[in-house]
C-alpha cells in the first residue's frame, strides 16, 4: 500500500469516496460537483491543506484531508481533519490507521500543534478508531451556521 499526496488526476476517485462518506454522515449529502470543486481547491493550494490518498494495486482505496489555519489560543498553526474515508472493500485491513498516521506525521512536519476533527455523535466505531489513535473527546461543542 502506498500513501501519498493526491494529485488533480485523483479528483474523480476521491469524489467517489466522499460520496460514500457523505452517504453515511447525518449532516451531509453527496454532491459530486461540489466535492470535486473543493478537492481541486485543496490539492491546488498546499498552503490551504493536504489531501492524502491510499493506493492499493494502483487504485485509490482511501483518503484523508487536512485543512490548515492558525489557533489564536496556541499562537501556532493547527489542522482540521476534514474528511477521512476508506473504501468499504478494504475496511478492516489497516488502511485507515496508515492514512491517519501519515496525516498526523504530515501535520507535525507542517508545524501544526493540534488536529481537530468532527464525527457523528452516533458513529461509535469512528470514535473508537480515533481514540485508539490518540484522539480525545473535547469539552467543546461544535455549532454551525450555514450561509
List pLDDT tens digits, range 93-124: 899 999 999 999 999 999 999 999 998 888 89
Domain ranges of the chain: 2-132
User: Which pLDDT score is estimated for 102?
Assistant: 97
Mean pLDDT, rounded, for 81-101: 93
User: Which pLDDT score is estimated for 143?
Assistant: 87
User: Which pLDDT score is estimated for 81?
Assistant: 97
Rounded Cα gap, residues 53 and 51, in angstroms: 7
Cβ count near 145 (within 10 Å)? 4
List pLDDT tens digits, range 9-52: 999 999 999 998 887 766 677 789 999 999 999 999 999 999 99
Residues 6+ apart with CB under 8 A from 106: 50, 52, 66
Q: Assign domain 2-132 to its CATH superfamily.
A: Gcn5-related N-acetyltransferase (GNAT) (3.40.630.30)
How many angstroms separate the first and last alpha carbons of the chain?
40
Only one residue has cell 489513535, namely: 133
Cβ count near 113 (within 10 Å)? 14
Only one residue has cell 460537483, namely: 33
Rounded Cα gap, residues 30 and 71, in angstroms: 30
Amino acid at each position: 500500500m502506498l500513501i501519498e499526496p493526491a494529485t488533480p488526476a485523483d479528483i474523480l476517485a476521491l469524489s467517489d469516496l466522499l460520496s460514500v462518506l457523505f452517504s453515511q454522515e447525518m449532516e451531509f449529502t453527496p454532491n459530486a460537483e461540489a466535492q470535486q470543486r473543493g478537492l481541486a481547491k485543496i490539492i491546488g493550494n498546499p498552503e490551504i491543506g493536504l489531501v492524502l490518498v491510499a493506493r492499493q494495486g494502483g487504485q485509490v482505496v482511501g483518503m484523508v484531508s487536512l485543512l490548515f489555519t492558525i489557533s489564536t489560543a496556541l499562537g501556532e498553526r493547527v489542522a482540521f481533519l476534514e474528511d477521512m474515508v476508506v473504501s468499504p472493500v478494504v475496511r478492516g485491513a489497516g488502511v485507515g490507521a496508515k492514512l491517519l498516521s501519515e496525516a498526523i506525521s504530515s501535520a507535525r512536519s507542517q508545524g501544526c500543534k493540534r488536529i481537530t476533527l468532527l464525527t457523528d455523535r452516533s458513529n461509535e466505531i469512528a470514535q473508537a478508531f480515533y481514540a485508539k489513535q490518540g484522539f480525545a473527546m473535547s469539552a467543546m461543542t461544535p455549532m454551525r451556521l450555514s450561509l
